[in-house]
Amino acid sequence: MSLFSGTILRLEKALDYSSLKQKVISQNIANADTPNYKSKDVQFNKMFQSELDSLKANKTDKRHFDFKQTSGNPAIIVKKNMIYNHSGNSVDLDKEMSDLATNQIYYNAVTDRLAGKFQSLQTVIRGGK
């Protein structure tokens, strides 16, 4: 039985996703003038799949499927076939700034929900006072 019914763990994973997205967007913005730099992105579906792939399990029968361990971060992808300027750089600064604002709103929403969860726990611990 989980003490917090998994909600806090899910919110933690959401913060991990937002943090990784922030890092990738920051790298893209920092390399906006770097020749031949290809912009990167974080895909939630790939991050989710990597979490599923990293589940640990015991293989009790030879007929069971093998569990794979992944290395690196498969959630980060390089955007290919995109060139915005003559130097081969594919960073669209306007799009990156828009993604940065969107990610900030997502992060704020998750942290507000997490703070509300902890506030509810404090209320329960204090006996409703």
Q: What is the pLDDT of residues 58-71, one digit of tens each?
A: 677 777 666 555 45
CB contact at 8 A, 79 and 46: no
At residue 85, the pLDDT reads 74
At residue 1, the pLDDT reads 42
pLDDT at 84 over 60: yes
For residue 114, what are the contacts with CB-CB under 8 A and spacing of at least 6?
8, 11, 15
Percent of the chain with pLDDT over 90: 31
